[in-house]
Structure formats: C-alpha cells, structure tokens
Amino acid sequence: MSAAKGATAPVITGGTPPGVPVHVGIIMDGNRRWARGRGLPSALGHKAGADAVRRTVEAAAQAGIGWLTLFAFSSENWQRSDDEVRDLTGLLRFYLRHEIAALHRNNVRLRVIGERERFGRETTAAIRDAEALTTNNTGLNLTVALSYGSRTEIAGAARALAREVAAGRLHPDELDEALLERNLSTVGMPDPDLIIRTSGEQRLSNFLLWQAAYAEFWFTDVLWPDFGAAELAAGMAAFARRDRRYGAG
C-alpha cells in the first residue's frame, strides 16, 4: 500500500454541478431497528437496507454526485452474533452476484476498502471480479467500506511509512500529511464534502476520520431502509446552505 517517495496520487473530481457535493459519505444505520419495529428478523432489515443502497446509488448518480462512499460493515461489526454476521456476508455475496451487472450498465465504478480478506476466499474473489468489471467506468465512483475501521487504516499507513524510514528510503523529516494520505486506502479519492448518518445517531463510528477533517455533517432520524432520493436531496440542500471556510474565518 506504500506509495513511492515523491509520488503524487491524482484526485479526480469530475464535472460535479455547482452546489452539489463532489463526495458524499453515508453511515448506513438502522437496519436492525427497522426490522425490530416491524417484528421482523434482522436479516430482513439488512435486505431492506440493500434495497436502500440501490435507490441511493441511483439518486446520487442522477444528482451529479461524483463519489459516493457507503459504510456497509465496520471492523467492529464482527462482534455481532454469528447468525447476523452470516446473514450480512450472505447478503453481500448476493449483492455482488446480482447487482454488479446493473452497476456496470449504469457506468458505475465499484471499489471496496477495508479488510476484504476477512470475508473469505469466495467473497474476496467476487469483490475482485466486480472491481475489475467496472474499473473503466466513468460515471459515479461507488466505494463500499467493508470490515473497515479508520483507526486501523491510519495505523497501517503509519506502519508503511515506518518501514520506508527503517529501510533508509525516507527521512523522518520528510513525513507529512500528503505522504500519509498516499498510504491510506482512499488514495486518489477526494475527501468527503458531506457525511450523512441515518437513524438519529450523531457520531462517526470510526468512519473516514482522517478524510472527514473538513466535511459537513447531516444527521437524519430516518432509518436506513427508508432512505432514498428524497432524504439524499434533503442532505444535499442542507449542504448547499453551509458556508465552508476551511478554518479561514
């Protein structure tokens, strides 16, 4: 994952319309509460959440958003019950098999960040094939964070740079923010302009901690399975009203 010394990783933003966030990150929360509120098993809440992913990806593309990052499975989610983890990973494999063709037809490029190997050989191969199929697509850049934790990501970048220093290829005085960024899993992606969290919770939960330094936040009480184009539009409208000064005043 280490970038070569002095290398520059291009950040492509595309032709995003004025007032529209280039990059939106979404912490998808509330699947289990949605299911419990209807007397349903958690698995059906996660399935409804997958339907919300489809709606939101379509709405983001139609709105002209260039980059959409979805927090689908955190590194902490492995602590959930074996049954729920099995349901989630099974749904992931189903999504990769049955939705990737539609993403490809709609010119969406899929990338996955996080510890994908933890999902096993079959799922890892499906992820790799999906990324390869869509790699030349030029529409919406869809990134899915799976078994992802930002602290682990940052620690990994620090280890990569430490190895460069230990090998004598990098002097400690040369370490800076740009070098660290080039060793993150989001290298080449613009930082998120807007981060949305559903279900009324108001925290990052270890999502894009470094990248969200100047992101705007929008929180909604809507549970993720009920999220769609209207809620995304509301978040974008709130973003458009913000005065982004980046610490300048």
**Residue 67, marked binder:** no
Is the Cβ–Cβ distance between 28 and 224 less than 8 Å? Answer: yes
Rounded-to-integer distance, Cα 46 and Cα 52, Å: 10
Is the Cβ–Cβ distance between 78 and 67 less than 8 Å? Answer: no
**Residue 182, marked binder:** no
Q: Which residue reads 């400690």 in tokens? A: 172
Q: Which of 51, 77, 141, 193 is catalytic?
A: 77
**Residue 34, marked binder:** yes
**Residue 78, marked binder:** yes
DSSP 1-23: -PPPTT---------PPTTS-SE
**Residue 218, marked binder:** no
Q: Which helix (H) or strand (E) holds 143?
A: strand 141-148
**Residue 203, marked binder:** yes
**Residue 109, marked binder:** no
**Residue 75, marked binder:** yes
**Residue 197, marked binder:** yes
Q: Which helix (H) or strand (E) holds 127?
A: helix 121-134
Q: Which of 123, 127, 118, 110 is nearest to 147 (CA)?
A: 118
Q: How many residues does the structure list for the chain? A: 249
Q: Which helix (H) or strand (E) holds 25?
A: strand 23-27
Residue type, 178: A
Q: Is 176 a catalytic residue?
A: no
Q: Which of 29, 87, 193, 226 is catalytic?
A: 29
Q: Is 29 a catalytic residue?
A: yes
**Residue 74, marked binder:** yes
Residue type, 201: E
**Residue 245, marked binder:** no
Distances (CA, A) of 242 to 32, 65, 236, 239, 246: 32, 17, 10, 5, 12
Q: Which residues contact 157 (CB under 8 A, 6 or more apart)?
A: 1, 180, 183, 184
**Residue 107, marked binder:** no
**Residue 32, marked binder:** yes
The binding site for substrate comprises 30-34, 46, 74-76, 78, 80, 197, 203-205
The binding site comprises 29-34, 46, 74-76, 78, 80, 197, 203-205, 216
The binding site for Mg(2+) comprises 29, 216
Active site residues: 29, 77
